[in-house]
């Protein structure tokens, strides 16, 4: 009980901050996906409660995924109705559970660290760029539209320039004061006081935003924010209306093969995005705990089954919510569950109150989250690790900024693989001496694993050996020497004789392919 209360003092305020971050994103992603607004809230609730309970991740938070908006929008149009699309979501969840039992989660351990860190920095920059228009009072593009080419016809950068033509003084005042409060709230001199330690700055910012806008309405009507600059949570005036917001899947659509194509697409993309997000959350975790990835796939699958059955969108682990959770001091999965409970309570009893929250003050919260993900210190630390880490890191950032999350990650991984292949090509052996003279003994010590990738560099090295030298090729430390490399080494026996080279092979297996000659 003591440990529960100890964690709760951290998890409760963190859960509240994640709720405030998730609320506009749930609604915005639903809007960008062409789905009912309430579906975004359903997804957030399921991700916060069901997935968190089933997952082994201590800090990741699940909900509707910005990376799936284009897929969802196109799929709803392709399948003809939202109800048929929900059947595909349920099927996608079942496929994810199967992937979990097949131990496909092991893929999550093979994402390069430079690419994961690049993803974190890119999401941070996207949050900053996407929230600047909202902070200035220009809310034409919905929250949660994270791709470069936006649904309103603008792109990430043109939207900022366009926003300068629609500056709203009330929004600028609210966002500026909110930013100042959030920056000061994190300062050590304030954290000495219990109030600043346990009350999240985001809550104060939201309350202040509501109060300021009410003052504007009374005293400065021109500065007041209209409804299109506020949160737009669906309001149910009765239990019947509330229940009516849930949508049931139409399983008759399973006769359509396109439903299976959509389900497989969602299962693969959602699984990859979830594995990437939990890997990133583990890197941000101050306690460096590891998430069991196969269990995560099962948890995400269960979440998608339930979300699809009650009218929700496909969900994934989401790094924006997860990083907000970690930066707010969350310690255990209870913070994710608390955020889900807050979402549920908000639609049941507080929708009218929450609809008074200005998007400008929530933009300030997300700007701080973005800044913490893309700090200059991260760029410096990656640069200090060398070009082999820094280049994939930067390429991942640029690719995500100008495309979307999944495409950017694939490009980043491709660049990382290039450097891995390049290193393997170079490091096939250890040469005891770089410069040689005639009759000198030269030892070529092969490394632990020599593959076909190393063929080129070994061939060039053997070709450059001086005539009349004494050469030892030592494979005693090698667990595996590829047949292609063995062929090169054994073929070199003939070349060595012609060049007067004395060749000794140590622990080099015979090449059976020579029998064919």
pLDDT digits (tens, 9 = 90+) for 270-316: 999 999 999 999 999 999 899 999 999 999 999 999 999 999 999 99
User: What per-residue confidence (pLDDT) applies to 374?
Assistant: 95
Please report, for the chain, the start and end positions of each structural domain, with discontinuous segments joined by +. Answer: 10-374, 429-516
Q: What is the DSSP string of 132-187?
A: HHHHHT---SPTT--SSB-TTS-BHHHHHHHHGGG--HHHHHHHHHHHHHHHHHTS
**DSSP H stretches of helix in 164-256:** 169-185, 188-191, 194-198, 201-219, 239-244
User: What per-residue confidence (pLDDT) applies to 360?
Assistant: 97
CATH level 2 (architecture), domain 429-516:
2-Layer Sandwich (3.30)
Confidence of residue 516 (pLDDT cuts 50, 70, 90): very low
Confidence of residue 328 (pLDDT cuts 50, 70, 90): very high
Residue 80: CB atoms within 10 A of its CB come to 13
User: Residues, the chain, total?
Assistant: 517
Tokens representing 275 are 């594995």
Tokens representing 231 are 């949160």
Q: Are 285 and 58 in contact (CB under 8 A)?
A: yes
User: What per-residue confidence (pLDDT) applies to 3?
Assistant: 60
- Write out the H or E segment, with its range, that includes residue 306: helix 293-310
pLDDT at 434 over 60: no
Confidence of residue 456 (pLDDT cuts 50, 70, 90): confident
Buried b (16+ CB within 10 A) or exposed e, 282-307: bebbeeeeebbbbebbbbbbbbbbbb
């Amino acid at each position: 009980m003591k440990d529960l209360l100890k964690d709760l003092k951290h998890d409760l305020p963190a859960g509240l901050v994640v709720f405030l971050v998730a609320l506009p994103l749930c609604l915005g992603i639903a809007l960008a996906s062409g789905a009912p607004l309430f579906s975004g809230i359903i997804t957030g609730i399921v991700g916060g409660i069901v997935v968190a309970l089933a997952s082994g991740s201590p800090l990741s938070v699940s909900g509707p995924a910005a990376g799936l908006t284009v897929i969802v929008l196109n799929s709803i149009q392709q399948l003809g109705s939202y109800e048929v699309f929900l059947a595909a979501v349920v099927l996608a969840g079942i496929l994810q559970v199967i992937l979990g039992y097949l131990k496909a989660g092991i893929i999550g351990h093979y994402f390069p660290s430079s690419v994961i860190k690049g993803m974190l920095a890119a999401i941070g920059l996207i949050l900053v760029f996407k929230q600047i228009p909202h902070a200035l009072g220009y809310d034409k593009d919905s929250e949660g539209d994270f791709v470069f080419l936006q649904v309103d016809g603008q792109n990430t950068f043109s939207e900022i320039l366009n926003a300068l033509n629609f500056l709203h003084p009330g929004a600028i005042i609210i966002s500026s004061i909110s930013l100042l409060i959030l920056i000061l709230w994190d300062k050590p001199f304030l954290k000495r006081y219990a109030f600043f330690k346990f009350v999240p700055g985001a809550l104060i910012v939201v309350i202040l935003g509501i109060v300021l806008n009410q003052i504007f309405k009374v005293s400065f009507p021109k500065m007041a924010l209209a409804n299109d600059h506020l949160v737009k949570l669906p309001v149910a005036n009765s239990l019947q209306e509330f229940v009516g917001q849930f949508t049931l899947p139409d399983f008759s659509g399973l006769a359509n093969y396109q439903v299976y194509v959509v389900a497989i697409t969602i299962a693969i993309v959602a699984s990859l995005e979830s594995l990437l997000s939990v890997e990133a959350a583990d890197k941000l975790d101050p306690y460096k705990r590891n998430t069991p990835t196969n269990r995560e796939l099962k948890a995400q699958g269960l979440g998608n089954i339930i979300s699809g059955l009650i009218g929700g969108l496909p969900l994934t682990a989401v790094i924006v919510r997860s990083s907000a959770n970690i930066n707010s001091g969350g310690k255990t999965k209870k913070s994710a569950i608390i955020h889900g409970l807050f979402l549920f309570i908000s639609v049941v009893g507080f929708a009218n109150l929450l609809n008074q929250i200005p998007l400008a003050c929530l933009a300030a919260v997300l700007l701080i989250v973005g800044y913490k993900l893309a700090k200059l210190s991260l760029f410096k630390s990656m640069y200090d690790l060398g070009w082999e880490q820094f280049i994939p890191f930067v390429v991942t950032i640029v690719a995500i900024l100008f495309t979307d999350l999944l495409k950017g990650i694939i490009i980043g991984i491709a660049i990382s693989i290039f450097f891995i292949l390049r290193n393997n090509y170079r490091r096939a052996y250890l040469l005891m001496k770089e410069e040689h003279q005639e009759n000198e003994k030269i030892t070529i010590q092969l490394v632990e694993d020599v593959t076909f990738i190393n063929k080129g560099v070994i061939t060039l090295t053997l070709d450059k050996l001086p005539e009349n030298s004494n050469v030892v090729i030592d494979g005693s430390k090698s667990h595996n020497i590829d047949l292609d490399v063995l062929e090169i080494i054994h073929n070199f026996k003939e070349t060595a004789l012609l060049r007067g080279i004395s060749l000794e092979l140590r622990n080099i297996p015979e090449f059976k392919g020579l029998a064919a000659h």
